[in-house]
Amino acid sequence: MPGRGPQTFKKRQKEQERRERREEKLARRRQRKEGQPSTVPDSQSNATTNQ
């Protein structure tokens, strides 16, 4: 992104990650409400590799 500093880029990346996590959580909640089992092990393995 030309004309913007590295802090802005990092901020944008964090916001994007936050948004994705929120959407994943909402999807899991919807699945639970519908009575379908969610794929918890996959999401947990992703969480540990991102850190």
- Reduce the secondary structure of the chain to three states and give it as a string: CCCCCHHHHHHHHHHHHHHHHHHHHHHHHHHHHHCCCCCHHHHHHHHHHHC
Identify the pLDDT of residue 46: 55
* Residue 7 confidence (pLDDT): 84
Residue-wise pLDDT for 1-51, tens only, equals 466 778 888 999 999 999 999 999 999 999 998 886 555 555 555 555 555
Do you know the residue count of the chain?
51
Rounded to two decimals, the pTM is 0.53
Per-residue confidence (pLDDT) for residue 39, from 0 to 100: 58
Distance, CA of 42 to CA of 32 (rounded, Å): 16
Q: Is the Cβ–Cβ distance between 32 and 38 less than 8 Å?
A: yes
The CA distance from 27 to 3, in Å, is: 36
Per-residue pLDDT, 5: 79
What is the predicted pLDDT for the residue at 35?
A: 81
